[in-house]
Amino acid sequence: MTELIVKNGFVYDPLNRIDGEKMDICIRDKKIVKSVKDKAKVVDASGMVVMPGGVDIHSHIAGGEVDTGRLLRPEDHVKDVEVKTAVTRSGVGFSIPSTFTTGYRYSKMGYTTVMNPSTPPLQARHTHEELADTPMIDKGTYPLLGDWWISLEHIRDGLLEENAAHIAWMLKAARGYAIKIVNPGGLEAWGFGRNVHSLDDVVPNFGITPREIVRGLCKVNTMLNLPHTIHVHTNNLGQPGNYVTALETMKCVEDLAREDRPVLHITHIQFCAFKGEDWARLKSGAEDIANYVNNHNHVTLDVGQVVFADTTTMTADGPFQFGLYHLTGNKWVNHDVETETSGGIVPFTYKRSSSVHATQWSIALEIMLLIKDPWKVLMTTDHPNAGPFFYYPKIMAWYISKRARENVLKKINKRARKKSLLPSIDRELSLYELAIVTRAGQAKALGLKDKGHLGVGADADIAIYNINPERVDPSKKFVSARKAFDRAAYTIKDGEIVVKDGEIVKQVFGKTYWVDVECARNHCRKTRARANDNIKKKFKDYWTVEYENYPIREGFLHSSAPVAVKAEI
């Protein structure tokens, strides 16, 4: 039994409404407890900020796409080499770090839970193999289910319960955590060289629309009682004028909301908040999006903040990536995953001098600052699409300090600066709000009950930063705040000190979350059995893989952490 006490820190724990109170946090084994014995090891956090360990809802850290991205970009790695130490392994960065480096860098910033947001179910085995090799953090992955033939067939035929049973099977087979939908219908159309451009375009061969797919899967999500909502990457991503599509997508599930609980998460909203007819007239749609979200409670967002850096874009949105290749002329990868999804990779550099890139940077900040309720909008960079995750401290500085934003604003493209709404926004996030958008809100949106807070019974994942809010105003001393967020004074993972003064002192391996759906009623079990038979049959027709080889055994995961949910059907 190991005991630890974090003493005298300024605690920011928004889920328990603790705002900078000076208090002690007691830890026994892997959990936070009420009290510990006197001989417990003391971590002196006096004059420091204590927050729950960071949670990232959307960061591409593992899987087929990420790995292909690594192979595609040797020049990305050569500039950022990590040498092995007595504790850590060697590795490389930059925009697509190797698995071990990914884990270390997250941990150094005080992050303890990271969700990998997309994996084609067919490649889930690869994803889990990489996640098993990603140390320091708890993780999970969302299978791409928005263009899966079997699901599309059920939506076409109006078989909701059957669809739910099939999705439940797939979540278990791929050991996934949530339903990910990317460009619904568009990826299926992409298999035939086409795309869909609005929620009401017809998906070839199925005769259904993206609207039906989003609504159908949203209903399934509620029926299965999954901890997270559906995780949606909208149609028309990265096209001027697409803020309309984003708003339509939010509107289309308005009536499915229950008791003010979110039913939809729109990811990297910055990429679908473009106003204007073409690239030359690109404007920010942040105000419209923020207005809508301020007036509705059924949706959560993450921003996908652009940082000015050389990065690698990778999404399952094949048609979008193909467009990006034509835009940049860079090397590219594009592929189709049988019956399930597609994918693409293009290296990309965001430049301050580009009017479009600078506007994108501004849009993401505007959305974050114009949405009044921080529980609705979360910080991400959609790593590595809008920037590598280790730029988070820089982004946090932009959130807490207007001056930090102005420093960048001075240097960006003139046209973009003129159009930006940022000079008119005075809001600076408090440390309490920052804790929401970087951990508490993320854990809440994910439905991870033991994460993102420091109440009794929570996982002992804690980040301690060397900022003294009594002495300094982080909005003025944003550089030192940024440095503090960059190198956590301590990171505690499962009750063990793993980072001290920004250096890894112990290597640990986190758990992998997946949802284990249990059906409540007999009737559902029958549906499930039928679904199983149906899938067995379909494997012969659709896949090149045998049914027996497809599901991933639980023992295959490094450290399995099933989240048991009872379906409502």
Q: Which residue ranges make up the site for other proteins (CB under 8 A)?
A: 72-76, 78, 331
- Report the candidate in 165, 188, 177, 203 with the shortest Cα–Cα distance to residue 118: 177
Nearer to other proteins, 190 or 325 (CB): 325
Q: In angstroms, rounded to a whole number, what is the distance separating the alpha carbons of residues 532 and 523?
A: 14
Least spacing, CB of residue 76 vs other proteins, in Å? 7
Least spacing, CB of residue 72 vs other proteins, in Å? 7
Total count of residues recorded for the chain:
569
Q: Exposed (0-12), middle (13-18) or buried (19+): which is 7, by Cβ within 10 Å?
A: middle
8 A C-beta contact, residue 160 and residue 211: no
8 A C-beta contact, residue 485 and residue 392: yes
Nearer to other proteins, 312 or 381 (CB): 312
Please name the residues in contact with 189: beta carbons below 8 A apart, sequence gap of 6 or more. 195, 196, 203, 204, 319
Nearer to other proteins, 69 or 186 (CB): 69
Nearer to other proteins, 69 or 146 (CB): 69
CA distances from 514 to 175, 362, 464, 547 (A): 5, 35, 28, 20
Residue at 499: amino acid letter: V
Give how far the C-alpha of residue 540 lies from the chain's centroid of Cα atoms, to the nearest Å.
34
Least spacing, CB of residue 132 vs other proteins, in Å? 27
Q: In angstroms, rounded to a whole number, what is the distance separating the alpha carbons of residues 308 and 96?
A: 16
Least spacing, CB of residue 306 vs other proteins, in Å? 21
Nearer to other proteins, 79 or 411 (CB): 79
Q: Phi/psi class of residue 290: alpha, beta or left (left: φ > 0; alpha: ψ in -120 to 50)? A: alpha
CA distances from 346 to 181, 230, 234, 240 (A): 21, 26, 19, 19
Nearer to other proteins, 51 or 345 (CB): 345
Nearer to other proteins, 74 or 555 (CB): 74
Strand 333-337 to strand 341-349: parallel, antiparallel, or no bridges (unpaired)?
A: antiparallel
Least spacing, CB of residue 314 vs other proteins, in Å? 15
Residue at 439: amino acid letter: R
Least spacing, CB of residue 73 vs other proteins, in Å? 6
Residue at 152: amino acid letter: L
Neighbours of 264 (CB within 10 A): 24
Least spacing, CB of residue 74 vs other proteins, in Å? 4
Least spacing, CB of residue 233 vs other proteins, in Å? 27
Least spacing, CB of residue 77 vs other proteins, in Å? 9
Residue 383 DSSP one-character state = B
Residue 567 DSSP one-character state = -
Nearer to other proteins, 78 or 545 (CB): 78
Least spacing, CB of residue 168 vs other proteins, in Å? 42
Nearer to other proteins, 329 or 555 (CB): 329
Give how far the C-alpha of residue 180 lies from the chain's centroid of Cα atoms, to the nearest Å.
11
Nearer to other proteins, 239 or 349 (CB): 349
